[in-house]
Each structure stands twice: as C-alpha cells, then as structure tokens.
Structure 1
C-alpha cells in the first residue's frame, strides 16, 4: 500500500487545523461570556441550529466536576467569617424599595377619591431615567389626552406641584437645578443663600472662582465653604439610587461557601439553560437512506451543537479551576474579610495552573463571585494589576498605592495643593515610584479633583 506523500500529509494536517479553528473559537467565546449573558447567547445559537437543545437550568447545588473544596488555614476561621457575615446581614437594613413601590405607598395615602391621583400616576410614567419631568406642559397635556385623562392645565400644574413634594426629594424637577432647589428646606436659615448660589453663581463655582463668589454674596470664605459643603450633599439625579432603568442585579458565576469543614467553590449553572444535542437529528444523520447532501448537512449541525455543549462544559471546568486556585491564594480574604487581600498577578496564577495568562483573563472577565463577604468581580482579587514592584520583587497591591495617593493629598497645604507631578515625587520619596499618569488615574478613581479645584481660599 502506498504511503501518503508529504504534500498529502500537510494538506490533511491543514484541513484538520481548519476544522479545529471554529471549535477553538467557539470555546474561547463561551469562556469569555459571563453567566448573565450566556443564556441569550445560547438561545441565539439554538435558534440558528436546531441540533442544539436547551433544557431547564441546572440547580445551583454542586454538579459533578463543577465544585471543589479546600480547608481553611486557621481552625474555625471559616466558621467565624460566616458568623461575622451573617451578623452583618442581620444588622443591615433591607434593600431600598423601587421607585414605583416608594411612590405607590405615598400615593396610597392620598386616597382613591383624590382627583390628582390619576394625574400623579400619569406623571410618574413620564419621568426620565434621572427622575426629571423633562417634557413640556403642552406635550404632557397631549400625552394625558392619549392616556384617557381630560386635558386640564390647572390640574396638571397642581399634580406637578404635588409630585415634587414626594420622596425622593427632587422628583419631578424640570432640570438639575430645580432638583437641587427642591431638596432645600425653606425653613433653613441658609435657604436664601443656598438658592442664590444655585441660581446665580453656578458658572463661577464650576470655575472655582470662590473669592469672587464670596465677595458678591458678602460672605467670608469659611461661610462660603460651609454652604458648598451643604450643596455637595444634594443629589442631582433624584432617583440615582432607585431608578428602575439602572443595572440589573448582578448574577454571580461562582459561589464560595463555608460548609463546616472548609470553603467550597462552585460554578453556578442555574443562570443559563442546560445544553444537549437533539437525539432525533442524531438518528436522521445515521439513516442509510439519507442523501449524502442531507446527511452532511445534519452532521454539520450536529458537530456545531457538540462544540457548544463541549464549550459550555469546558467553561465550567476552567472557571472552577481558576476560581479554586484564586481563592486558595486569597484564603485570608475568605477567613478575615475584604481588608485582607494579598497581592496577586494574573501571570502568577497562570504559571501555577500551567495555562496561558490570556486564558485566566478571559475566564475572569466580566464575571462575579458570591463570597461570605458579598459579591465581587473576579478581577477584584488580582490586586497587583495596577501596583508597583517593591525592592526585592515584591508587589505592592493597587489598593495600597491608592491609599498612599490619598494620604499625600490629605497632608497637602490646601492653599497650595500638589500637582500630579508633585504627588508622584512625594510617593517616590516614600519608596513608591509611580508615573504621573498613574497618579492622575488613581486620583480620579478616589474622587479627588485636580489641584486647581482643590485649592482652598481661607
């Protein structure tokens, strides 16, 4: 029998690689997708390929090969961590009601016979995502007529005024300035000055022209600073914490629990449907009376479906493996709490696992973990991503360096605040060399304004 030529061997190898490429790409794509998006992705694939069957999601309880346990480093540490967390939850108030729930409770107090009640419900539906009533009165009357209300400018005005007395304060404002004004109390001794600042001096305040504002209002600088502090406590977006259009609740991909003998790491499979290959299409592909073209079509669909099933399983295995190694390193976090994170780089974890760092990055990208201390992004546990190399190769965690930036700013002379270059120089003197751009980045993350805006006029 003739042996295959070199050219035939190379051609066969190339064909195998071409066949493998879509399979690898599928696996990489599925690994990257967080649980909250995986369901819609699988639904789209199933809609395009009838050979892929979606079933009910698996329970969050451990599935074979999808969980792992390890004992705590200190006897009783895990139990103590869980007890501290449970105590924290018992003492923590329940989450806030939605905007609709809060307003509905307040509207119920008005009584069903109040002629403004239907108008208030109507106006609630006209609020934008910030809680503003940004539509003109003319347009509101048109919309009211379309919703079955009898247009009445007088009732509309009364309803808007009533809406603006409800909580959260600022609800129904026409713009940000009115939202701030609605949060002020007329009985406040500083009410007139606060209103004047908002109505007459916003541009000057934005430019930090505080001495000019103080002179115009006949105030000394400490008095003006007190008023500005008061304004800083107001909310420009009335429903910022309650807006129903905000982000959906985070669905963790990984669960870490204390079991009594150790910490258990699990991959949560309940957030997306189970996947399998359609048995009927399998049978059709095996029928000997099928035409070759039809048989090839079925087999192609079956191959694609098998790739998806395998990719989902591989995603779970990789996510579990990376998560277990991650929390084995961050055991102190599980036992003691968020203040005990250790420096860790992705490439170090990749080396420990014998995989490429890009695999670790894709595995944790966009994914969250539920721990005894709350829900966190998996990337949160790689604290060295923005850190600095210490003498001897040790890595300073990003949070530590940011704290150094904050401390330098807190110690500065308010009348001559430090520039980012000066902060970088101060950090270098403390043994924390950092580029100016990195200083600026950390400063913004900490909510610290620029040196120009930090200047105080005493």
Structure 2
C-alpha cells in the first residue's frame, strides 16, 4: 500500500502533467493558421525537443521570409525587451511579491493564460476549471485577486480581458483627464479610430481642439501590451484554415495544409533516452522540454480535429450556402453546434474565431456560417437585439462589469454576431451606463 505522502505526490504530478496540454489546447485552438505557424516556429527555436521538418512552410504553400519578418518586427518594437522576454519579466515581478504558494499558483495560472497580445481573454469559468484541475479549488475570490495582481504588473495593460480593458488599465485614475479618456475608450473607440470626431466632441461636450489633445494621450497607449509574449506577424494575404469541396456524396471538408506531418518530437526526448552520465537536474529539464513539445503537437492535432468537426456540423446545415451562395444561409447558432457535438460553447467559439473557409466561390470567415437568422445581423429585429444585450449585461458580475467588446464576444458565442459599436449603441438606448461607470457606481 502506497504511503499517503506518495499518493499526494503522484496526484500532484498528474495535475502538472495535465497543465501543458490543457493550456496549449486553449491557446492553439483560437489561433489562425498563419499565427499557428509563427507560434510553432518560435517554439522550435526555443525548444530543441520540437522539430519542424524541411517541408513545414511548404505544407501551406508559403516559403519563409525571415529577413522581411525580422525587419517588420524591428519596426514594430516600441521598447527594448528584457533578457528572457516579457514572460521572464512578469515572472520576476511575481517573485518579488509577498504571496502564499496558493496565491502564486493562481497568479501563474493567469500568466500562463495570457494570449499573444497580453490579454487575459480566457473566461473566469475556464480559469476556475483549470484551477480545479490543478488542485487549487474553484475559489472565485482567489482568482479575482490573482487577476488584479497581474493587472498591476508592468507593462501596464497586461491582463486586460480585451482591448478596452487593456487601454483602461494604462490610464492614471488620478489624472484630471481620466473620466474623459475613459469615456473615449469605453464608448467612442471606433468613432475616434475612423476620425468621426464631430459627434464625439459633441457627446463629450468639448471643443475639437480639446478632443485632439485627448486623442494624443490615447495614442500613447499600447493596444497590445503583451506583444513581447509572442511577436508581431507581418501583414499577409488571408490563408484558409479549411477547404470545402464537392465530393461523391456531398461536400468534403479538409484542413488546408495540415501541419501535423511536419511536426515531430525529438526521438531521444520522446524515449527519454539520455546518457547515463546526465545529472538528475538536466534529466528533469530535458523531460520538461520533451513534455512541452508533446503537448504542443497534441494541441495541434486536437485543433485540426475540432476545426473539422465544427465545420462539418455547420456545413451540414449550410449546404445551400455552398451550392447557391450567401443569400441562402439558414439560422444557425454556435450553441446548436456545441450541443450537437457535445462540446463547450467556448470551444466552438474559439474554433470559429479568426478561421477562414475556402469554398468554390472564394474564402469566407467561418463565423459567417453562424447567423441568428438568415443573412446579416440586421435581419434580427431591434427588439431582439436589445433584449439579447440586456440579458448578457443582466447576468454580469457587478464587481467585474463587462465592456462592450466582452458583451460582443459573449453574444457571438450564442450565435449573435454584433460589432462592439453596435453593442454600445444598444446599451446606450437601453439607458445602461458604460462598464467604467457601472464599476464606479
């Protein structure tokens, strides 16, 4: 019979073994094909246990242009990165904090969940589920404190749940312009970005010259505070993730340029076949690198499998769209597909986000297959849209009010695709203040 201490250690090791695959699956699923390629290249450069075969880029018909990519990254860098990258800098800030082991575990879980922009876009429910699996419990208070800690790290904006919150975190609450800047970010970001300044100045009650001054302050903010976690990718032509083609018995769907055949884990790492003279610390380090590589390859496999399942389920309903065009889309929500496939709604939403489908008539966003009614968002009645926005806001945690962008994401997960600007418009019509004002109420 195993000693209780040994059993506890075994369970802890099992939880740690789960962690890489869970986190990698969440990250990889939401990436577009182009971003996934870039991630794999960075991982292969950093981890010798992951190998990319010579045909890696040619699998998707594109040759690497490292020189151009390097020039692009250098052009976009706005500040020097510390040795070891931003992730190392964040870890250094954590080390300096006086926290219990449990608190540190929650903070690290949040840091590990940051996306390539530095946003903590993973929902609280998913983070709590990860915490539960790692033996931290489903402690909402501990999670909230961990998020608040991460959002206090440098660079400012890290840990924001979306673009709006990342910008708000960079503002100084003690500054006299704070209320006006908050309103600009919360309510008029789209108008400001497209230079529709007249209505914005009128709504804020300021002169155009004052609005220009405020805009100058906004332009000093970083919309992607976590760029050092990943790296910028050069602008490129949209490449499809999936291809739909007519087959013998209907429509065939396949992953375009599957990357799996081009990935492999170093054989020695896979077998744990290292020299007998290797010291234990080096063995553990190499084993961890091998596990990280295996988790990433498995995440890519799961991504392709999930993409195929979701696309096939959607296209079974949207066959008329493939054969006759966009005017023949039928009502379909992500929730319906999630229920049919036995997947979480958030999984379907990630599988759809940023993905594109090649059809005989051209490339379309996979999200276009999901409509609350046939056609565009405008086909739903204004009353239905307003009720949907009110429902989401009515369910929010009062301690963490949802931004308009977060509401738009939630609605998209329910199959109702609205822009952030449209959400803001309906929110104002409903007489609901911005998340900034709800937070301070």
Structure possessing the higher relative contact order (Cα contacts under 8 Å, 6 or more residues apart): 1
Q: Which structure's CA Rg is the greater one?
A: 1
Output the TM-score relative to the length of structure 1: 0.43
